[in-house]
Amino acid sequence: MKHIVKILALVVAITVLWIGLLQTSVIPDSYTWLLPIYFVVSLGCYGLLMVGVGLMNFPTCPQEALLLQKDIVEAKEYLKQKGVNLPLN
Per-residue DSSP letter, 57: T
Does 50 lie in the same domain as 75? no
pLDDT at 67: 93
Most confident of 19-23, 36-40, 77-81, 83-87: 77-81
Does 41 lie in the same domain as 28? yes
pLDDT at 27: 67
Does 44 lie in the same domain as 12? yes
pTM, entire model: 0.45
Does 67 lie in the same domain as 53? no
Residue 60, SS3?
Answer: coil
* Interval 19-55: pLDDT, tens: 887 777 766 767 767 777 887 898 899 889 999 988 8
Q: Is 22 left (phi over 0), alpha (psi -120 to 50) or beta?
A: alpha
Does 68 lie in the same domain as 51? no
Find the domain containing 67 and state its range.
60-88
Does 3 lie in the same domain as 26? yes
Residues in the chain: 89
In the chain, % of residues over pLDDT 70: 92
Does 75 lie in the same domain as 51? no
Contact 30, 16 (CB under 8 A): no
Domain count, the chain: 2
